[in-house]
Structure 1
């Protein structure tokens, strides 16, 4: 599932198309469109110049024009979505749901499972409405706000970090990596964290998010928990203890029973 690091990679893809003029928009599967007729995208965007993309959490906004940037396309990536920049002559992929043809190349929204889709936003209020349902972006939140937003109610730490209304952008892989690096058990109650725990959680969260955003994914490096979570009898890269897994908050969760004691 695309998380903040993946969407940051998609933002860089879109940034490479900033300044290009939209020649046409082909919605090849109307099921991915949330709030408009498929033909409405072409009518709204044709002839407009793409602006600089904006990301918040797992959302990506593709604005147009030199003013406030509307109309704009809002991209949700669901479980399997991605954004690619291709040459105009590249063969179509069966999961290319929307193709934006530019004066040079194309942007393609590709999604196998079609769980959420895209929306056409005609004014700033639409973008603000989307943001109002989300917490601060995980890459920008500071320690005090992190503690305030997660510590308001007694919840397991894994569930609290995955709650997009608390902190936007964190997904399953990112949260497991952060908690492993912070030496915190995913079932730890947020109300049980002390000042050193919050400091360590904040530092590790920003470190993991920054490194992953540069890579465009949570990288499966040998020194990372992510590099071992899918191994049979995988071992902790820090202490070599066999890793434990279970389902928490509906997600497969991996942790080290030695480094992350309950």
Structure 2
């Protein structure tokens, strides 16, 4: 599913293809991805407008124009795909933004869990995004640790909570916790100062690898490349990985490297 590194990749796509270009037409194949805006209002708001520099806030992508802002949230399966205007549309291409240079930006999404908003003003855009915490790329190690210290629930739930730190999702959270050698169900408010520092350092290390790639790397050196294998082993210690649901999400961890403090 799209997380901070993926959305940063979509921001680069929007910046490279859209910035400075005028939207000549908005074509909506499936209005089921539109949120709080009709097809007619989306077209009226964007056609004839020029994209300015794109912005990412956590998992949100903001397409600023010389008028309103179009906001994208990619849910589980969304993508932003550049294409030539004449190229055949894919089955899941829900909305296409045709530009003045003959290209299109296509919002492609199979499951339609989130979608597209239109904000007439900056204040409206902030209301759509809601009460997010600081972006995970921008927050310093010390602030990252402090924001988690006051949480009473489990560590994985705290990492997934966008009001704590914005941009982390399921894969990133599991990879960060594995690299920090912390169990995903450990209480966030019971970490030692050293554990909090280790967690913050792991978060920034994982993001530093993931953002240039545009996704959470599934190489053989980390947990992510092994989590899909139900008989997988930890790439660090060689022990069997455990799988379960923690914080309502499918979770993988190494019982040896990430001992459960509740045991």
Alpha-carbon deviation of 1:232?
3.3
2:20 equivalent to 1:19: yes
Picking from 105, 110, 113, the partner of 1:112 is: 110
SS in structure 1 of the partner of residue 49 of structure 2: coil
Picking from 198, 208, 215, the partner of 1:210 is: 208
2:55 equivalent to 1:54: yes
Structure 1 gaps of 5+ residues are none
Q: Partners in 2 of 1:191 and 1:42 — Cα distance?
A: 48
Q: Partners in 2 of 1:53 and 1:201 — Cα distance?
A: 30
SS in structure 1 of the partner of residue 105 of structure 2: strand
More divergent stretch after superposition (231-240 vs 52-61): 231-240
More divergent stretch after superposition (209-218 vs 146-155): 146-155
Alpha-carbon deviation of 1:143?
2.4
Picking from 89, 94, 100, the partner of 2:91 is: 94
Where do 4+ consecutive residues of structure 1 move more than 4 Å? none
Q: 1:5 maps to which residue?
A: 5
SS in structure 2 of the partner of residue 168 of structure 1: coil
The equivalences for 1:184-203 within 5 A come to: 184-203=182-201
2:152 equivalent to 1:161: no
CA contact (8 A) 1:27 1:39 kept: no
Q: Partners in 1 of 2:247 and 2:212 — Cα distance?
A: 28
Q: Partners in 2 of 1:21 and 1:247 — Cα distance?
A: 46
Q: Partners in 2 of 1:35 and 1:96 — Cα distance?
A: 20
The Cα offsets for residues 147-192 of structure 1, whole Å up to 9 and x where unpaired, read as: 3322213111011111111111111100000000001111111122
Q: 2:32 maps to which residue?
A: 31
SS in structure 2 of the partner of residue 238 of structure 1: coil
Aligned length: 258
Alpha-carbon deviation of 1:131?
4.2
CA contact (8 A) 2:142 2:197 kept: no
Q: Partners in 2 of 1:137 and 1:77 — Cα distance?
A: 17
User: TM-score, length-normalised on structure 1?
Assistant: 0.95
Picking from 227, 245, 248, the partner of 1:247 is: 245
Q: Partners in 1 of 2:148 and 2:247 — Cα distance?
A: 15
CA contact (8 A) 1:134 1:164 kept: yes
CA contact (8 A) 2:60 2:129 kept: no
